[in-house]
A and B are shown apart, each in its own frame.
Chain A
Amino acid sequence: DQQVKQNSPSLSVQEGRISILNCDYTNSMFDYFLWYKKYPAEGPTFLISISSIKDKNEDGRFTVFLNKSAKHLSLHIVPSQPGDSAVYFCAASAPTGGFKTIFGAGTRLFVKA
């Protein structure tokens, strides 16, 4: 039973346009959410996070939006660059159960030049 779901295995976007990566979760106890980026043959790299007390967090070209009522979050990348081509993982943790971080299956983003 996947508690964090990334339903789109892949996404293709033109350079300069907006990339929107989506993530849904089922556990209402999750209160902290993170996005990671992963290039082939490397470990994931932390990108941005958001606490459940906020509905938006921005860092440069990356913005994460959280909709608690829908149990949905999204990562917006504007403008998209070819170097953004990678696998993006959504992750969540709850204040119970030892703060374990649960990851989604990932979405592969292709940014075409």
Chain B
Amino acid sequence: DAEITQSPRHKITETGRQVTLACHQTWNHNNMFWYRQDLGHGLRLIHYSYGVQDTNKGEVSDGYSVSRSNTEDLPLTLESAASSQTSVYFCASSESTRGGQYFGPGTRLTVT
């Protein structure tokens, strides 16, 4: 069965370190997204991609970057982790730009 996976599921890191969260989907979807979920804010879009070599900034992109070298993967990098980036991160993919998205299980990141 097709799926979308995230790794690691939990990570603790120190302020200032570079961190990369992995996202891998086997749906063969062109569209992939990264969100963060914080209490009172719901899901906020960090970056998104509509195909290989395409990346776009979302609502809260400062301090984050992504790259899309193939259809299956969209890694999210925190260049220099800050305590404000402590959150739960969700990756998603979709077949169409407007349709429902399939979400991964999430990565809980703690920056100390």
Size category of the A interface is 20 to 34
Interface size on B, residues (CB 8 A): 25
CB-CB contacts below 8 Å: A14-48 with B: 32, 34, 36, 41-46
Whole-angstrom CA separation of A93 from B42 in the bound complex = 15
Given A42-B105, A43-B90, do A103 and B56 touch, yes or no (CB 8 Å)? no
- Contact in complex: A100, B58 (CB < 8 Å): yes
Q: In the complex, which residues of chain B have a beta carbon less than 8 angstroms from the beta carbon of A44?
A: 43, 90, 103
User: In the bound complex, what is the Cα–Cα distance between A89 and B35 (angstroms)?
Assistant: 13
Name which of B43, B59, B92, B101 has the most chain A CB atoms within 10 A of its CB.
B43
What's the minimum C-beta distance from A40 to chain B, rounded to whole angstroms?
Answer: 10
- B44 on the A face (CB < 8 A): yes
Bound CA span A92–B52, Å = 25
Residue of A nearest to B100 (CB): A46
A81: CB under 8 A from chain B? Answer: no
B105 pairs with A43, CB closer than 8 A: yes
A98 pairs with B100, CB closer than 8 A:
no
A99 to B98, CA, bound (A): 7
Is the CB of A101 closer than 8 A to any CB of chain B? Answer: yes
Contacts of B105 in A (CB 8 A): 41-43
Q: A42-B106, A43-B106 are in contact. Are A101 and B101 (CB under 8 A)?
A: yes
B4 to chain A, nearest CB (A): 8
Name the distance in Å between A86's Cβ and chain B's nearest Cβ.
13
Q: What are some 19 contacts across the A-B interface (CB < 8 A)?
A: A4-B42, A6-B42, A32-B98, A42-B105, A42-B106, A43-B4, A43-B92, A43-B104, A43-B105, A43-B106, A44-B90, A46-B102, A49-B100, A89-B42, A93-B98, A100-B59, A101-B101, A103-B35, A103-B43
Q: Bound state CA distance, A99 and B30, in angstroms?
A: 14
